[in-house]
Amino acid sequence: MQNELKYVGKSLRRKDGPDKVTGRALYTQDVRLPNTLVGRILRSPHPHARIVRIDTSRARALPGVKAVITVEDTKGIKHGFVETPRYPADQEVLARGKVVHVGEEVAALAAVEALTAQRALELIEVEYEVLPAVFDPEEAMKPGAPEIHPSHPKAPRALANIGGTTETEWGDVERGFAESDYVREDRFECQLRTHGYLEPQVTLAHWENDKLNVWTSSMGGFVKRAKLAKVLDLPQSSVRIHKTYVGGTFGGKIDLYSHEYCACRLSMLTGRPVQITASREEIFSAYRHAQPLTLEIKTGVKRDGTLVAQRIRAINNAGGYRGSGVVVIFLAWGFTMIPYRIPNLKYEGFSVYTNYTVRAPQRGHGAPKVRFAIESQMDMIAEALGIDPITIRLRNARGSGEKLPNGDDTHRGDLRECIRVAAEKSGLLAKYGRDRKSPPKGTIRRGIGIGVSAYMGGTLIYPNGSAVIVKMNDDGSAIVLTGAIDIGQGSETVISQIVAEELGIGMDDVKITSSDTDTTPQDIGAWISGMTYVTGNAARQAAGNAREKLLQAAAEKLGVPAPELVAADKVISHRLNPEVRMTYREAIAHSVAKRRGDTIIGEGFWRTMRDEPAHPSLATTRGRWTENYAFSAQVAEVEVDIETGEARLVKALTVHDCGFPINPALVKGQVDGQVSMALGHAFMEEVLVKDGYTLNPNWLDYRMPTIHEMAESEDADVITEQYRVGQPYRTKEVGEGLISGILAAMGNAVYDATGVRLHSTPFSAEKILEGLRDLEYQKKKKLKKIEA
């Protein structure tokens, strides 16, 4: 069957490609409305302070200033990344009473042009009473630490500043450790990193005729609409998020941001369009970054490397509000339990308020840190037991048809197959340990390492489901209405391929209208790794629905039963007698004439895990998570200069299971991008913060990979699923799950090259040199002992 596919499974060109290489593609900053005002935000200069007084009168009096707002001009409605009974909304759109991080939004204004707006900001007087601040989450947890917010009512009473906890266990870990032949404990830490999207955060809002029109750089308009409508106290029908292309997000543009609210509110007050663009410095020093997790892991294994028990304690430095901090401690459990069988597990995660900026998801949302920790320890265990890194992983990796502790199923996914293919293609076992055994001449050492990961694909978070509408045109071409947003991943292309395949029309016959909350149906958004599966299946259904209507119209006209007809290349013909045929144009005309004017519109809806009421519990992990686990094994080859300590990724191999690639070239693009982002994590990137102030708020000092750091990136797709026209399909995640195994692999490869085992990222030259010196010292000490 698969060979008959014409569009699905092919590396077709991006649908949005021509617009993007000609400069026609419209991003939020490119939308121009007459009379637009410039909006600016006044931010806190303190990490923790009480606001004693705000006086905006001098700013208001400045000619050219049209409106100034503080929290007193809002409805006081709170919002949160998570809004559940356990974790109610906790953040106001502008600071009320106190500020909890440097850069927190205190006031906003709109003026006729940028210089006036800037001058007006400087005329706002704010009197602060500075409070003691705390930045280290383990300090913040201690009783008596400066209180940023009261601890969650269900948190252990002795601990301060706890935003939330996740606790879960199965089996009996203590008995498991007692029954283990080898037990070890390690602690791993990660640096603060940021998304590095090229398009700045920007919003244009225009309140006109009781309607709020919004253009904003986001990862899904329907979430933004719901949150904006809530905090503005407007019905959702009064808020329209328009389509724009999005210049990179990587997790950093999901949640509601204060500037989005402020642009809207200022427009409602002035009746004029208001645009707020964040400067790169603001993005670096006041916006949301990823979550630095600390992981303490105790693991017990049998002599042959079989995992018996694991105890994990995760502490998240969550910043000044709850943000996605309580999600990442749930996810850290999830990314622990998928790849390997762990018979006895005890997990506890703490999300701790500190006086850092609020946290957002970043591609992988905790998985890079979790996999770095577990895969590093796996290699240490293997070495202690005298087992190679492949064998120990194969012994514990999950196979197909396994039930997971949360009731999920691996279906046809098989991590063992990914590991086997990765081992074979990379020749890891032949290369492993080579430079440590017989160091080559010169200062360059080469090392190889493996890391595995697994990721969920789509889960139940608002709005939980996607709908797609396919409208046929007179000539047999189609218009697709989808709420899906193309943030670069290629959603418009993938959806077009599915519609073209199901409907038997060409790619050019499919035109997409997307991501507009008024004209397109609801969509889950591009942030829970489920768009190809959820929205794609909705598109498949919608196109299938239109195809069935076409066939029925043709069956009537041709006088043959519909099941005997086939539709392809805009022609409907009889299976056995191709002479009996009619064009789509004729079938549509017949439908309009004879079927009550039906112009043929197909509808499709999809929701993952239809029998599950909601997302699993963030507190207890109970409940099903996803029906599509994607497994991967990745191999890194690195070079380390032992004179300078500098390390670089030379080559990456990614073996992954995305189910079935709808567009292999787009999948490849996701692989390459994640390898690049991971090497930034491994060797380059860190947001440096001192006392709450960002020290490197620009790309000269926060170094992201440039073309000089580009690594060779190969991949192999272990295809486990099929696509058949008219049948539901199961694709798996590919946009963020492949950033973690490769990070772990780089850590293991640095060890393989040098013998230096690092327990924290980044693997900086300083840390590697220190490790080398320490090894040298240990060697000398040993020699002295022998001599003595």
Residues that bind another protein (CB under 8 A): 13-14, 16-27, 29-30, 32, 115-116, 118-119, 122, 195-200, 245-248, 250, 279-280, 487-490, 664-666, 668-669, 672-677, 698-700, 704-708, 710-717
Report the nearest approach of another protein to the CB of residue 116 (Å): 8
Contact indicator for 489, 247 with CB cutoff of 8 Å? no
Q: Cα–Cα distances in Å, from 352 out to 156, 324, 622? A: 12, 11, 22
> 728: exposed, middle or buried (C-beta count within 10 Å: 0-12, 13-18, 19+)?
exposed
> Which of 30, 186 has the CB closer to another protein?
30
Of 122 and 518, CB closest to another protein? 122
Residue 40 or 359 having the CB closest to another protein: 40
Query: CB of 124: closest distance to another protein in angstroms?
Result: 14
Q: Distance of CA 752 to CAs 82, 445, 448, 697, Å?
A: 41, 9, 6, 34
- The distance of Cα 177 from the centroid of its chain, to the nearest Å, equals 35
Are 225 and 269 in contact, with CB atoms under 8 Å apart?
no
Q: How far is the CB of 198 from another protein (least distance, A)?
A: 4
67 Cβ contact list (under 8 Å, min separation 6): 109, 110, 266, 269, 270
For residue 787, the minimal CB distance to another protein (Å) is 50
* Strand-strand pairing, 37-43 and 274-277: parallel
The Cα–Cα gap between 397 and 20 comes to: 42
- Picking from 504, 531, 391, the residue whose alpha carbon sits closest to that of residue 450 is 391
Q: How far apart are CA 135 and CA 121, in angstroms?
A: 28
Minimal distance in Å, beta carbon 29 to another protein?
6
CB of 342 to another protein, least distance (A): 32
DSSP state letters, 684-727: T----EETTEES--STTTSPPP-GGGPPEEEEEE-------TTS
Find the shortest distance in angstroms from Cβ 667 to another protein.
Answer: 8
Question: Could you tell me which residues come within 8 angstroms of residue 230 by beta carbon, excluding any fewer than 6 positions away?
Answer: 77, 79
Query: SS in 3 state form for 499-522?
Result: HHHHHCCCHHHEEEEECCCCCCCC
Amino acid at 220: G
> Which residue's CB is nearer to another protein, number 314 or number 658?
658
Whichever of 117 and 528 has its CB closer to another protein, that residue is: 117
Reduced to 3 states (helix: H, G, I; strand: E, B; else coil), residue 173 is helix
Cα 488 to chain centroid distance, Å, stands at 13
Say how far residue 502 (Cα) sits from the centre of its chain: 29
Beta carbon nearer to another protein, 385 or 665: 665
Nearer to another protein, 223 or 677 (CB): 677
Catalytic residues: 736
Reading the block at residue 548, the tokens are: 């069935």
Min dist CB 89 to another protein, Å, is 30
Half-sphere exposure (Cβ direction) of 166: Cα atoms closer than 13 Å:
23
